[in-house]
Structure 1
Amino acid sequence: MEKTIFFAPDILSNPELPFEEGQHCVKVLRKKEGDEILITDGKGFFYDATIVQAHPKHCIVNITNTVEPPKGWNFKLQIAFAPTKNIDRIEWFAEKTTEIGIDRLSPILCQHSERKEIKSQRIEKILVSAMKQSQKALLPILDEMQSFSEFIKKDFDGQKYIAHCYPQEKSLLKDIYKKEENALILIGPEGDFSEKEVEEALKHGFKAISLGESRLRTETAALVACHTVHVLNQ
């Protein structure tokens, strides 16, 4: 039976569950002093711990064992995406890519973007929930919104790809991606990247790719890209 995982990012420096986690542990699950629980800091570690104070506002624990489980994938995967007008679709994408396995999510502001800002705090909660639900110990990094032009200038240790729908030469991701290779994939807004943005990305070392014959929504394309990289690494 899978254990409930509690998230405490500062557990090594502060042996107390965050307020909401402590409430869930003591009030909902009715854990008591002496009970054993499993904690992650989201940095790739699990901690076996014993509850020493079972108070809903102050759940204090004692760490008894530290485990660094396999990450589950031996490459770094970052997806940069233009958030959709309907934020529910981006939250769905963030949840599902976390379940599959991703290292970093980077919202970007493009010429055709429908949404100019996002509430990072809400998406962070979804990432935490998805991490715990999928029994992972690594919480994806969620960047603040960045402009497309600034983002593509940043260094990345791996291959960089841009998925777009223009009728120009491009390769299928499944044909161009190499196993165990770090990957950064750009996914555009519903109206696609502008032609100028595609040209700028290519000048900065990005390779043009297709994700298949179907025209996909932003969040679907991002999920397909994530899943494709994982399948190719199996």
Structure 2
Amino acid sequence: MLQGGVVRVQGDEFWHMTKVLRLRANDRVELFNGKGSLIQGLIQSVDRSGLDFVALEDPKLVLPQNTQWHVFAGFGTLKGGRADWLVEKCTELGASSLTPLLTERSPTISENRVDRLQRVNMAAAKQCQRLHEMIMNPPVKVDGLLALVAQSKLAFLATAEATPLVSALTSSGWESSGLIVVGPEGDFTEKEVSDLMEAGAISVGLGPHRLRVETATVALLATLMLWSDSQKACHS
């Protein structure tokens, strides 16, 4: 959509803009499509079924960040909103993608739940003004992950009593993308850990305490995002 173009906003976005944000005609807003395109404009009119947004300038294209971290976590069995929290924080921290990992101890995740988590993802992206949406991938089994680990130059596997993450980072070269792998409640089986490490995953520890799935995922992702930023500054 170019400057002067008008788009009709309806459904959930219309409800959020008018009922939650209480926006009205002539209010200035920004629209983004989750692919890096950002448009400045204003609300031209509002009626019962939707609103009309008019662009005040041509869209801007914002390039994605240089470092791409792809998260694979066994969160299919998490209860009580814990999976929602994990998805929300991965979105806020800047993960490029999040994939439910199906393991022997977390073998399923319902399709309805994946749809809900996608809605959580989009809501978090709007809240933190993230222009490039985090991709929610379909679930993958550990066997299906092994080839991706083998192809990746950096793949970190969270395991108990492994080399501390910060120590492992001091001996790792900087790469523009990598994988983060976190097991389910009850952890991976010995065979799953062995298979992942044989494929090339680097086993890393996250401190002396046993962490929940969502805590371990966020701790690992946050540390790697900060490390990536510092390495990017050194290489620029």
TM interval, shorter chain, is: 0.7 to 0.9
Structure 1: unaligned runs, 5 residues or longer: 1-10
Q: Does 1:173 align with 2:168?
A: no
Query: Structure 1 190/26 Cα, relative in aligned 2: closer, same or farther at 3 Å?
Result: closer
Q: Which residue of 1 aligns with 2:154?
A: 159
For the 8 Å contact 1:26–1:56, the answer to whether it is kept is no
**2: distance between equivalents of 1:223 and 1:190?**
15
Q: 1:92 aligns with which of 79, 85, 90?
A: 85
Q: Secondary structure at the match of 1:215?
A: coil
Question: Pairwise mapping of residues 1-234 of structure 1 onto structure 2 (< 5 A)?
Answer: 15-65=7-57, 66-69=59-62, 71=64, 73-83=65-75, 84-86=77-79, 88-113=81-106, 116-118=108-110, 119-154=113-148, 156-165=151-160, 170-177=162-169, 178-179=173-174, 181-232=176-227, 233-234=229-230
**2: distance between equivalents of 1:201 and 1:187?**
11
For the 8 Å contact 1:202–1:208, the answer to whether it is kept is yes
**2: distance between equivalents of 1:44 and 1:175?**
35
Q: Secondary structure at the match of 2:147?
A: coil
Select between 17-26 and 131-140 the one with higher mean Cα deviation: 17-26
Deviation at residue 179 of structure 1 after TM alignment? 4.3
Select between 189-198 and 94-103 the one with higher mean Cα deviation: 94-103
- Post-superposition Cα deviations, 1:25-72, rounded to whole Å, max 9, x if no partner, equal 23454534443211111112221123334234232322233233464x
Deviation at residue 185 of structure 1 after TM alignment? 1.0
Give the AA of the match of 1:144: P
Query: Structure 1 56/179 Cα, relative in aligned 2: closer, same or farther at 3 Å?
Result: farther
Number of corresponding residues: 219
Give the AA of the match of 2:164: L
TM-score w.r.t. the length of structure 1 is 0.82
For the 8 Å contact 1:31–1:54, the answer to whether it is kept is no
Q: Secondary structure at the match of 1:15?
A: strand
**2: distance between equivalents of 1:181 and 1:174?**
18
Give the AA of the match of 2:188: F
**2: distance between equivalents of 1:28 and 1:141?**
25
After the TM superposition, list the runs of 4 or more consecutive aligned residues in structure 1 that deviate by more than 6 angstroms.
11-14
Q: Secondary structure at the match of 1:150?
A: helix
Query: Structure 1 204/122 Cα, relative in aligned 2: closer, same or farther at 3 Å?
Result: same
Q: Secondary structure at the match of 1:120?
A: helix
Deviation at residue 92 of structure 1 after TM alignment? 0.6
Query: Structure 1 180/147 Cα, relative in aligned 2: closer, same or farther at 3 Å?
Result: closer
